[in-house]
Chain A
Amino acid sequence: MTVPTSDSDRDASLLRLEDIVKHFPVRTGSALGRGHREVVHAVDGVSLAVSRGETVGLVGETGCGKSTLARIALRLIEVTKGRVVFDGVDLTALSARQLRTYRREMQMIFQDPYGSLNPRRRVGSIIGEPFAVHGDVVARSQRRRAVQELMELVGLNPEHYNRFPAEFSGGQRQRIGVARALALRPKLLVCDEPVSALDVSIQAQIVNLLARLQKEFQLTYLFIAHDLSVVRHLCDRIAVMYLGQLVELGPVGELDVTPRHPYTEALLSAVPVPDPDQAARRRRIVLAGDVPSPIDPPSGCRFRTRCPRARPLCGEEVPPLEVRAGSGPSHLTACHFPLERAQARVPVEVHPSQLLEEGNPC
């Protein structure tokens, strides 16, 4: 039935995205449908592996393809090219029927706790929906109890089983979404901006909940966010996307402290710091212009049109995502002229010998 790719896949990483490409066909021009057929390059050649129990944060701005990539990881949308390997099995090769078994093991939490819950259904039936779909998991007679256990697990009052979503606040609704996602005891949770719509004090409650559940159930998270402070707090590694591609990938504590890609640096410096003295002191990099259209992305490095360090080579050759001289072994950067550690946003202790080794490859 299943298509195991190789034995080594089984233990290495839970989720492996291999050279994922997703193009959406669109018509441009006339509103009457006579425009040109063109494609939106939503995701263009992204490879990313997520280990068991790890939390990878996927950050980037609107339209960078992070949500598309997340949906591809769960095969909610089909890839144009590439493979999604989950627990050693190539999901892209499975039929819809075969896929159902794997669907249990990967779930999603959505951004909008208002839009993602059916307002006409009671909370108990929303959380119990996965049991109805996968009928063999919990016997019918046991379902109510299972749902109430889930409610308790995420900090909801089990007595509120028969209430409607409208009777809950935003934070409580997000707990309902988390309970529903956990119902089938998944291995992988894809969280698409799970706290962005919540107030600060409630955000912290949900972040703590996600961290606790991860420990308790050895969950693996793919965590999509534009809020870098939350990502830093919760994730082991950060993947930065720009216009459909990964531009930088590295461990928390390294990527966010000494970013090597100019876009990552700009993104980090753009996040407002809740500290007036620090805000006044720090160097802010304000990028010029807007993100180019994903219909016709720039040649070579896609960031070059806004990059303060762009040189002719950047328009000619696509910079590969690889370890750059001076970075740690798991810190990859797709830039021809990566920032040197000494230029990094946050001053760090660097041994002079390290600086000498960093040359620009031109």
Chain B
Amino acid sequence: MALLEVLDLRVRFDTVDGSVQAVRGVSFSVDAGHTLGIVGESGSGKSVSTQAAFGFARGAHVSGRAMFEGRDLLAMSDRELQAVRGARVGMIFQDPLTSLHPMYRVGWQIVEAIRAHDRSITKRAARSRAVELMGRVGIPQPEQRVDDYPHQFSGGMRQRVMIAMAMALTPSLLIADEPTTALDPTVQAQILELLRELKDDFGTAIIMITHDLGVIAEIADDVVVLYAGKVMEEAAVRNLFYHYHHPYTEGLMASLPSAGVRRGELVPIDGQPPSPIDPLSGCPFSPRCRYAMAECAIQAPTLLEIPGEPRHRSACVLPRDRAARQALAEARRLPATQGMVLDR
């Protein structure tokens, strides 16, 4: 059974410019001990969807269901939610400096995180747990560092402190929202390694939210691709990278510079992402899609399974059959595909 199952999640913000539909009917699920990668570009709704599910999106109109350990998070009271967050779900963010209080020692902050959920743990016990956790996440000399302030840590070490805090109550799910984006490559490699270890040791499921397909390939078991607040494609990681179906996924893969090909033209996705205010009625990717057909602009395609590939679903009307799809893709790869309208 899925640990977290999000069903038809919709998130809307009222702004002076109109109503922003950040998430428009997103469903995904995470199994216990698995890593789900949520990939998307700025404004795709990748962060908002998890934040809204756990009641972090202030001022948002949220609908849908988010079943976590058998209970609907969206139907919970604030009090109930607070008991879940921190204890059953840990969170780490892109910028560890703004997530830590600058005026308190990191050890104190970890102790608070532990005792906020269980007052029966003595301060002394919580502190030794904090030292143990800091050692576990690879902070050297944790007995001394526990009394340091956040600014005394480097970016990578601060992220480790955040991970220690998030893991303090051994949650069943860790939400990592772009945890390595602000870090240098060698530090990023250290943090990804640590997350992999923690997942294996504690059996914690991870939701990795990122724009970086490299990070997805390194750590995810399953992937959800978001665009303009909708799921475009979801699949097991190998299926997504090697047998993607959706043209948006194809576009993302093609825009990456590959190690083998040098100095060739990259293949960008033309155009810009759509405005989240007044979204299109059809497929949100259709204005930038090289395969777009007349019907795409009218009716948004539903997320349908690819035959023969369990858990691989794509929201695109292109043929599901691989051979037919490839033939069409080949035909469309010819130059001057823009604006082409073909019948299926």
B241 within 8 A of A: yes
CA gap between A229 and B215 in the complex, in Å: 14
Contact A230 B257 (CB under 8 A): yes
Contact partner of A200 among B140, B156, B252, B258, CB < 8 A?
B252
**Which chain A residues border B252 with CB–CB below 8 Å?**
200-201
Which residues of chain B from 250 to 297 have any CB-CB distance to chain A below 8 Å in the complex?
251-259, 261-263, 265-270, 272-273
Q: A266-B186, A274-B241, A284-B189 are known contacts. Are A200 and B265 too (CB-CB below 8 A)?
A: no
Instruction: Using known A-B contacts A61-B186, A199-B41, determine if residue A273 contacts B268 with beta carbons closer than 8 Å.
Output: no
Find A284's partner among B41, B193, B216, B255 (CB 8 Å cutoff). Answer: B193
Q: How large is the interface on A (under 10, 10 to 19, 20 to 34, 35 or more residues)?
A: 35 or more
Query: Which of A226, A271, A276 has the largest count of B CB atoms less than 10 A from its CB?
Result: A276
Q: Which of A61, A171, A226, A274 has the most chain B CB within a 10 Å cutoff?
A: A274
Q: Does B154 contact A (CB under 8 A)?
A: yes
Chain B residues, CB < 8 A from A230: 257
Determine if A286 is an interface residue (Cβ-Cβ < 8 Å): yes
Q: A229: which B residues are within 8 A, CB to CB?
A: 256-259
B319 to chain A, nearest CB (A): 24
Q: Which of B176-200 contact A (CB under 8 A)?
A: 184-190, 192-193
Q: Which of A180-188, A204-212, A332-340 interfaces with chain B? A: A204-212
User: Is the beta-carbon distance between B257 and A207 smaller than 8 angstroms?
Assistant: yes
B259 to chain A, nearest CB (A): 6
Asked if A201 meets B41 with Cβ closer than 8 Å, knowing A232-B257, A233-B262, A276-B238, the reply is yes
B258 nearest CB neighbor, chain A only = A229
Residues A172 and B241 in contact in the complex (CB < 8 Å), given A61-B186, A226-B185, A274-B217: no
A270 at the interface (CB under 8 A from B): yes
Identify whether the interface residues of A are mostly helix, strand, loop, or mixed.
Answer: helix
Within 8 A of B (CB), among A62-103: 62
Pairwise interchain contact A226-B269, C-beta atoms closer than 8 A:
no
A272, CB-defined interface residue at 8 Å: yes
Interface segment out of the listed B77-85, B206-214, B320-328? B206-214
What residues of chain B lie closer than 8 Å to A228, measured between beta carbons?
A: 185
Residues of A within 8 A of B216 (CB): 274
| B257 neighbours in A (Cβ, 8 Å) | 204, 207, 229-230, 232-234
Residue interface mask A155-192, B partner, CB < 8 A = 1: 00000000000000111100000000000000000000
Which residues of A come within 8 Å of B, CB atoms? 61-62, 169-172, 199-205, 207-208, 211, 226, 228-230, 232-234, 252-253, 256, 266-267, 269-279, 284, 286-287, 289-291
25 residue pairs from A and B, CB less than 8 Å apart: A171-B272, A199-B42, A200-B41, A200-B213, A201-B255, A202-B272, A203-B268, A204-B266, A204-B268, A204-B269, A207-B257, A226-B184, A229-B257, A229-B258, A233-B257, A269-B189, A270-B186, A272-B218, A273-B214, A274-B217, A275-B241, A276-B238, A284-B189, A286-B186, A291-B154
